[in-house]
A and B are shown apart, each in its own frame.
Chain A
């Protein structure tokens, strides 16, 4: 029987966890996995698996993802994550934990298979618990405070969205592809937008492509055939166009009402 985990005072939860973990304090330092623990868990019931996963989660994940995996300092609410929903015994979670997401600020963790099993069990238990209420994420229903007509006026007016976007072109059906918080975040800043770059070689030849890397010392791009090419700087002239910059320029101009109205309008674009 899966325990219904709710947001409970940490003191209660941690005391249980603490009592569990101090039993192993005498075991060799620095290592969570020892022969003694392995043997113990060969016959572990699910609740001790969850307690072990809870310990690992509190030590390493809770700071960003919250004690109950429902989100904390910048870390997403795992109970609303598609990746977590699709996970079976760590099939998708494992990679993210072991590789991290450096671009998004998530470190990597060198957990053993057993540690990962415990962590995955804990995360899935939180998903089950969240479905029973006391959810702390952001629901689609939370984001419905805007006016679609006002949003449409903003789209074609002060927002200048129509400069680059079209409700019947690139944005057709956008609300079928994304909903709720994910739609609103992409609306405000589409993270996977790419920049274009044109490189002029010393010979005068121009090569156009998608910008892949630029740190002031090396420029990398994928050309029209998808081949990666790079140059040491300075060595070539280049010019970059980043249409996504318009989103950044818009940040200081929005009122919160504009954002909610725009969201209401985009949600009408279902086909």
Chain B
């Protein structure tokens, strides 16, 4: 009897250990608490946390010791596709992607645990920005507008659901966003005139929970098409508001075919994540004719603005303007250019840029600043709360835009050509829009995102293929390393076994950076 009792107690203990109780306990995947307050040894979602600030509280790597940062390991994907995804780090395992491919890698050794291949498909293979995770399930987008749920332990497929019809011209590249019991996904596809939407799915079954239509502004008799929703948004748990950016209207360069503001394209929208209902919307580019999606990260910042305490949302948008909004109601606080802009005749009372009709694409061409790639694009900016600086990898640029009647009113409906551009890192004081410092990153475009840390470091990449660690207060270079290809994703950082790692992708290679063992800061923190 005693023996049985002991066995029973042992079995009970084992069963309790298997429960998903504590975030610091045994491997248990991602739960709601972790998404709300990501522990130091994790990066559980695309932005790292719901704010989109891409700012870490880790301080082991400092402006003083970053010069000693070295390689822990690299992982070679053996593919020509550039890594655009932000890896997730959960329970010591990294999950990252390129189109049609998902890898699970041991973050300690850099070795592959498993590699999932998505089957051949006709979706656009322009990019893949990573996966979402909930409990022990991963959510991966195939290029052809399908969402696959996989077991994180071994990469086996649980289910595969279509979120849109690829044969109509939809495609998907994004990392989904998990909020509560919703897996939220947008779609891409502006080569056709298509209605666009954001959808939420049940994390267990993949069943559709709600759908919000971008082109659904009330009172509009002829809805516009377009407004892709191809980047993950941000979330405020206290307000229970989901913030998402929408893309450009279609036909892209032919605005004459779709007069009016074209709501809710090129907008920042606030939705209720449980119902998908629109709470407020702010249009960043009314009647856009230059392909300037407003899907850049809607960064959430609590701070003061003109002496008052505010819950804000900030976006360095593709069209060249930096927006600061009150995120409780969408009211505009600031709209100011953050680089050369020549397509508007000013900003209206509500903070909307007013497009200059003379700068619409024309048969003999119009000189436009910025270029079609935008003053910035999907790469993450970073907000550093200590300095109040909004740091963005910007692309001051000029281009020519053409459109003529024979180009029609479908899809691109015109042509645009880049003339010149630079890559410049800008540290913006959010209260005024003024630059605190800038740092040149080379000619052309750098696709690297920005990460800042509490110790005062900024990580990004230049156009020459260097990873850079800069002093956040003044932009001075503190460390660099040549990666052999331009950084094409946004960096992450986490702590593992008492050591702080920075992980970046460049070309088809993932790099893991760490201070050497034996470094005084490492040893004292890890207690060795």
Q: What DSSP secondary structure best describes chain B's contact surface?
A: loop
Question: In the assembled complex, which residues on chain B have CB atoms less than 8 Å from the CB atom of A108?
Answer: 80
B120 CB–A CB distance under 8 Å: yes
Q: Report the nearest B residue to A58, measured CB to CB.
A: B122
CB < 8 Å neighbour of A142 from B122, B364, B416: B364
CB < 8 Å neighbour of A215 from B82, B410, B464: B464
Question: In the assembled complex, which residues on chain B have CB atoms less than 8 Å from the CB atom of A63?
Answer: 124, 126, 191
Question: In the assembled complex, which residues on chain B have CB atoms less than 8 Å from the CB atom of A189?
Answer: 398, 419-420
* A260 adjacent to B122 (CB under 8 Å): no
* A62 adjacent to B191 (CB under 8 Å): yes
* A74 adjacent to B369 (CB under 8 Å): no
* B444 adjacent to A59 (CB under 8 Å): no
In angstroms, Cα B340 to Cα A77, docked, is 27
In angstroms, Cα B368 to Cα A254, docked, is 11
Minimum CB–CB distance from B79 to chain A (whole Å) comes to 8
Minimum CB–CB distance from A64 to chain B (whole Å) comes to 8
* B363 adjacent to A142 (CB under 8 Å): yes
A256 CB–B CB distance under 8 Å: yes
* A143 adjacent to B168 (CB under 8 Å): no
CB within 8 Å of B: which A42-84 residues: 55, 58-60, 62-63, 66-67, 70-74, 76-77
Minimum CB–CB distance from A182 to chain B (whole Å) comes to 10
Could you count the A-B residue pairs with CB atoms below 8 Å apart for me: how many are there?
Answer: 165
B372 CB–A CB distance under 8 Å: yes
B233 CB–A CB distance under 8 Å: no
* A256 adjacent to B125 (CB under 8 Å): no
* A252 adjacent to B340 (CB under 8 Å): yes
A202 CB–B CB distance under 8 Å: no
In angstroms, Cα B362 to Cα A189, docked, is 20
Interface string of A91-130 (1 = CB under 8 A from B): 0000000000011110111100000000000000000000
Interface string of A16-30 (1 = CB under 8 A from B): 011001001101011
Minimum CB–CB distance from A193 to chain B (whole Å) comes to 11
* A10 adjacent to B192 (CB under 8 Å): yes
* A60 adjacent to B125 (CB under 8 Å): yes
* A251 adjacent to B365 (CB under 8 Å): no
A153 CB–B CB distance under 8 Å: no
B104 CB–A CB distance under 8 Å: no
* A105 adjacent to B445 (CB under 8 Å): yes
Binds A, one of B56-64, B68-76, B176-184, B399-407: B399-407
In angstroms, Cα B419 to Cα A185, docked, is 7
Q: Report the nearest B residue to A143, measured CB to CB.
A: B364
In angstroms, Cα B366 to Cα A259, docked, is 9
Minimum CB–CB distance from B20 to chain A (whole Å) comes to 32
* A7 adjacent to B419 (CB under 8 Å): no
* B143 adjacent to A59 (CB under 8 Å): yes
Report the contact-size class of chain B (Cβ under 8 Å from the partner): 35 or more
* A142 adjacent to B402 (CB under 8 Å): yes
Question: In the assembled complex, which residues on chain A have CB atoms less than 8 Å from the CB atom of B120?
Answer: 21, 24-25, 27, 29-32
Q: Report the nearest B residue to A59, measured CB to CB.
A: B125
B349 CB–A CB distance under 8 Å: no
Question: In the assembled complex, which residues on chain B have CB atoms less than 8 Å from the CB atom of A67?
Answer: 191, 411
A212 CB–B CB distance under 8 Å: no
Once A11-B169, A67-B191 are accepted as A-B contacts, the answer to whether A62 and B367 lie under 8 Å apart by CB is no
Question: In the assembled complex, which residues on chain A have CB atoms less than 8 Å from the CB atom of B122?
Answer: 14, 17-18, 21, 55, 58-59
Minimum CB–CB distance from B204 to chain A (whole Å) comes to 25
A145 CB–B CB distance under 8 Å: yes
* B418 adjacent to A74 (CB under 8 Å): yes
B435 CB–A CB distance under 8 Å: no
Interface string of B159-170 (1 = CB under 8 A from A): 000000011110
Minimum CB–CB distance from A101 to chain B (whole Å) comes to 11
* A73 adjacent to B444 (CB under 8 Å): no
Minimum CB–CB distance from A181 to chain B (whole Å) comes to 7
In angstroms, Cα B365 to Cα A145, docked, is 10
Question: In the assembled complex, which residues on chain B have CB atoms less than 8 Å from the CB atom of A110?
Answer: 79-80
A135 CB–B CB distance under 8 Å: yes
Question: In the assembled complex, which residues on chain A have CB atoms less than 8 Å from the CB atom of B466?
Answer: 215, 217
In angstroms, Cα B410 to Cα A66, docked, is 12
* A10 adjacent to B291 (CB under 8 Å): no
* A215 adjacent to B420 (CB under 8 Å): no
